[in-house]
């Protein structure tokens, strides 16, 4: 079973940039002056789709050139912080993991997108609109959304599912633990928990309990839901169905998976 990382990538404007650069159909005079080059930063796949939409934006805004700069994910956040700190070559637009955006917003590094609700309808977005705001002020728009996918080895799970007296793959925690115990032993575990992967924890554990990482601009994972989620996390290890994986010491967990 694998929990894919899920991303909300937030399109935000750096404070030294222009007032608005979202790819909308608004007249160019309402966003950026003609004969302007917008520097847009993306990492890996975000740069791919930024490059794909840049020609359409340029066609809708004659005289505006979009320059997409690509970064590897591992160095991307540091590059943003270094550019802000130095004030040199600061991009106009960046894509951000929302986990990073909060500190940048609170420190005044990004500009609010005043009036963005008049150009974009929040209801048109599958989710993530509120992740891009602070105290009701919008600083970005959701740009990308991935969904979790679960898969399992039928040759291992199906016999255990039948032995547990179930007709289908478990649909609740207790049944899943029951099946997992039947396929786990000293050498093999039903679950791999990568300790450094906070995405897997909050999506696979915290969110199903109704918890959130942030609420009203404050960290909110130290809640009853957070305690329940961490309790289950520990229980899976204690009952012998999960392997804790330390990526720093043991390397990439994908080969182990």
Residue 86 tokens read as: 């130095």
Lowest mean pLDDT among 54-58, 66-70, 87-91, 142-146: 142-146
Over residues 71-114, the pLDDT tens digits come to 988 888 889 888 888 888 889 999 887 777 778 888 888 889 98
Q: Where are the alpha helices (DSSP H) in the chain?
A: 45-60, 73-86, 98-106, 116-119, 154-163, 173-183, 198-201, 224-238, 247-250, 253-256
Whole-prediction pTM: 0.60
Whether 193 and 200 have beta carbons less than 8 Å apart is answered as yes
- Using the predicted structure, report yes or no on whether residue 17 has a pLDDT greater than 80: no
Q: Which residues pair with 41 in a beta bridge?
A: 69, 94
Burial of 95 (0-12, 13-18, 19+ CB in 10 A): buried
pLDDT band at 55 (very low <50, low <70, confident <90, very high): very high
Query: What share of the chain in percent tops pLDDT 70?
Result: 86
| Three-state SS at 11 | strand
Q: What is the mean pLDDT of residues 201-226?
A: 80
Calculate the CA dihedral of residues 98, 58, 47, 118 and round it to 10 degrees. Answer: 20
Read off the pLDDT band of 64 (50, 70, 90): very high
Q: Are strands 242-245 and 191-194 parallel, antiparallel or unpaired?
A: parallel
Burial class (CB in 10 A: 0-12, 13-18, 19+), 230: middle
């Amino acid at each position: 079973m694998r929990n894919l990382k899920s991303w909300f990538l937030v399109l935000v404007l750096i404070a030294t940039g222009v007032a608005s650069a979202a790819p909308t159909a608004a007249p160019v005079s309402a966003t950026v002056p003609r004969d302007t080059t917008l520097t847009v930063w993306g990492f890996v796949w975000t740069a791919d789709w930024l490059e794909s939409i840049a020609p359409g934006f340029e066609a809708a805004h004659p005289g505006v050139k979009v320059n997409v700069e690509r970064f590897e994910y591992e160095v991307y956040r540091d590059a943003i912080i270094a550019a802000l700190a130095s004030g040199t070559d600061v991009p106009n637009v960046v894509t951000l993991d929302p986990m990073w955006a909060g500190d940048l917003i609170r420190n005044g590094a990004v500009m609010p997108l005043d009036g963005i609700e008049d150009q974009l309808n929040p209801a048109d977005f599958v989710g993530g609109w509120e992740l891009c705001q602070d105290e009701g002020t919008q600083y970005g728009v959701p740009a990308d959304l991935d969904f979790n996918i679960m898969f399992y080895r039928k040759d291992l799970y199906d016999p255990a599912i039948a032995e547990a007296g179930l007709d289908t793959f478990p649909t609740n925690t207790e049944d899943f633990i029951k099946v997992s115990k039947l396929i786990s032993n000293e050498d093999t575990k039903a679950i791999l928990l990568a300790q450094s992967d906070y995405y897997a924890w909050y999506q696979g554990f915290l969110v199903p309990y109704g918890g959130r990482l942030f609420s009203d601009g404050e960290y909110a994972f130290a809640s009853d839901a957070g305690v329940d989620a961490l309790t289950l996390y520990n229980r899976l290890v204690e009952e012998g169905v999960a392997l804790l994986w330390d990526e720093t010491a043991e390397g990439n967990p994908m080969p182990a998976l």
